[in-house]
Structures are given as structure tokens and as C-alpha cells.
Structure 1
């Protein structure tokens, strides 16, 4: 569902290289934004660059964090310009370096390392699309990605381990009673969906709740089974009762 339009992205690294003084400043928010806008040209819709064909050697760091709730924070302040966040989201890149997952903003000439507390993308909407005889579940992220539930884009539940930067989760985990601790653990089981280039998206609480209304919930052997129909196929998501309650 993503439009990888190579015609509007310069794939020639030599042609895309900025002057050396600009390269040294790409880890600066304004410089990176100006560089991206100058190299992508005119866009029809939302194009994702061919990141897999870019192999920059230069690596820098930026004080940018994608929070567990999907917010982007730069140098301690929340980024509120949606157009800028969406632009940067098109160059999000994930790498597994000897078992250590790292995230970057990737350009043809430089990779800029950033921090991600949970998933780099957030799904905040789901709808039903009818095409011919098929009925698809279509998901949209806050930064404009659109993906359908199919064999390559399935939903899974994963345990989320709070980071030191997540103040709310720290406070929740600090509750001393056994029942409250169990509730805190249950609340950290979250639904995710692959989107592109190895990037996962967290399905927001309200969106997941809407899914339970769209699909069919049944009880089997003490578990809640959510069955979803998309593209003429059935997809089942098995959830312990406590996790199902924590998502509602």
C-alpha cells in the first residue's frame, strides 16, 4: 500500500550529496528538513524513498525521541508540526546490529541515529474498504502510512518493557501491591502491526477497541479469540482475558 516512487527521489548518491558544510549540519533539525525538501522534489501523494538502496557511510546522532505514545520530541520539546513529523517519518530506518535494534533517519549521504521508546509508528485509524467481492481492513498511521490486514501485515501482541523515559509507566510499576503490579504488567501487552522496511506500528487503544467491534470475539479454553475478516481470509488473535480487558 506504500508508494515507493523512485522517480521523484534521486537515487544517485553523488548527485544527492550536499556541500560538506551542509553534510556536517544534517543532524540539525532545520538543516535536515531543508535538505529533504530540496531533494525529494514534487510529490504526488506520500512517497517513501528507496531507503534500501541508500548506503551512507556517515553516521551522526540527533536528540530526537519517538515516545511510547507516538509523540516525537526533539531536544526536550514536543514536535507539533505534523507536516515535519510526517516528512521525517518517510526516512525512518531500522537496523539490527548484533542483536541491538537501532533507529535512524536515513538520507543518501548520512544516517542520523534517534531513540525510539516502543514502536516508531502509531496506528490511529482503521476502516473497511470494499473492492469487488473482497472486504479489507485498512489501517492508517498518524504519519500517513496506509496498510491492509493480510498475510504480510498481521497483528501480534507483544510485551512492552517501559523505558526510563516513560514516567507514567515508572509510576505504575512502582505500585507495591501484588494486584496492582499484575495489572501494570497486563497493561504493557500491546498490539502491533508491521508496516514497511521492518518498521512496526503500535495499534492505538481506541483503534484496537474499534477492531473488537468490527471483528468477532469468542471464548476458547480461557482465552479471548478475536477473529477479523480481511481480503477474503480470517485472522485470529489470541488474547488472555486480562489482556483483552486492558485493551478495552
Structure 2
């Protein structure tokens, strides 16, 4: 892996390793447990912006590539390759659900990095916060969530129905998901 003169891992070297590892789909990051190599000056903001060394990453393909090697361990986030693991900061959720296809009994979300997931047992919708400021999320993969953006949440709310527990929610994948905390 290429390192900068200050001994930090370079974004270009990490991207190159990720590109090689991810040929033909998502890399198997759940199988990788490389040595910890330090922190990278990379932050994923709550609005979905990826910031590297103080500047937004302007290339969507680079953000997508990094998103495929993102791994969560407890409350920490890392970019991993088969041989390296670097810590990054995540303000809220690493992804943002920016759209949803709402059909009878099925809600399929699209994230800001191009992932699509259908809410169900493997991809639950959870709402944290309180009634005044709800924070809705959908599980994307391996402990990584997407914050459901406001316009998409309003669309879910417009399609909502009363649930068995009296709370309003939506059905997808044979499950009922309350849209209230």
C-alpha cells in the first residue's frame, strides 16, 4: 500500500487495492481481518458527503469504491483491504437512502452510493430519536445503515397504514415497520 510522507495511508493506494479486490461484485470484507494501520483523514458526514483531508470527494466513482470496502466493528468504521485496515470517522450513518420504490408489500431503497435494498427481515427499517425529530434508517449490509432522507421518509409516511400495535408504519418483505420511534 502506498503511504504518504507523513506515514498515513494514501487514498489512491487504498482505492487501487479496493478496485482489485472488488472485481465482480462487493468485496468479501466480512472475511478480511487485516492488521490495523492507523487513521485516515476521511469523514462521512450526516448529509452523505465524503470528506477527505478537508475537501469533499468529487468523484462519485471513488466514493462508491470506498463504500464497498467499508466495515463496521462495534462503534468504529474502517476501510479494509485483504492486507490493511484504516479507521475513518462517520458522523451518523455511512449511507443515505435517497429514494424508494414503494409498491404493495415492498419498499426498495436506493442509497447515495448506488446500493439497493428491499426492506424486510434482512434489511429492517428502524426509527430512532423522538416524535419531534425522528431519525429513520434502513440496514444495508453487515451492520451498515443508511439514514433515510427527509423526502423519502415523507413518501413512506404518505404510504403508511395503521399497524398491529397502533403505530403507523409500512409493510415490506412480510414485515411491518413502524415509522414512529
State the TM-score, normalizing by the size of structure 1. Answer: 0.64
Q: Cα gap change, 1:136/1:61 in structure 2, threshold over 3 Å: closer, same or farther?
A: same
Q: How far apart are 1:217 and its partner, in Å?
A: 5.5
Q: Which residue of 1 aligns with 2:60?
A: 82
Q: Cα gap change, 1:57/1:155 in structure 2, threshold over 3 Å: closer, same or farther?
A: same
2:160 to 215, 222, 236: 215
CA distance in 1, matches of 2:156, 2:10: 40
Q: Which residue of 2 aligns with 1:203?
A: 148
Q: Which residue of 2 aligns with 1:235?
A: 176
Tell me if the contact between 1:58 and 1:109 (Cα under 8 Å) persists in the aligned partners: no
Tell me if the contact between 1:122 and 1:203 (Cα under 8 Å) persists in the aligned partners: yes
Q: How far apart are 1:39 and its partner, in Å?
A: 4.0
* Structure ID, larger Rg: 1
Count of residues paired in the alignment:
177
CA distance in 2, matches of 1:141, 1:120: 10
CA distance in 2, matches of 1:28, 1:158: 35
The answer on 1:105 being equivalent to 2:50 is no
Q: Which residue of 2 aligns with 1:140?
A: 110
Q: Cα gap change, 1:49/1:75 in structure 2, threshold over 3 Å: closer, same or farther?
A: same
Q: How far apart are 1:58 and its partner, in Å?
A: 3.6
Q: Which residue of 2 aligns with 1:121?
A: 95
- Tell me which protein shows more helix as a share of its residues: 1
Tell me if the contact between 1:60 and 1:110 (Cα under 8 Å) persists in the aligned partners: no
2:45 to 67, 74, 78: 67
Most deviating of 30-39 and 144-153: 30-39
RMSD of equivalent CA atoms: 2.5
SS of the residue 1:70 aligns to: coil
State the TM-score, normalizing by the size of structure 2. Answer: 0.86
Unaligned runs of 5+ in 1: 1-21, 161-184, 241-248
- Tell me which protein shows more strand as a share of its residues: 2
In the TM superposition, structure 1's runs of 4+ consecutive aligned residues that sit over 4 Å from their partners are: none
SS of the residue 2:180 aligns to: strand
CA distance in 2, matches of 1:71, 1:230: 28
CA distance in 2, matches of 1:74, 1:118: 17
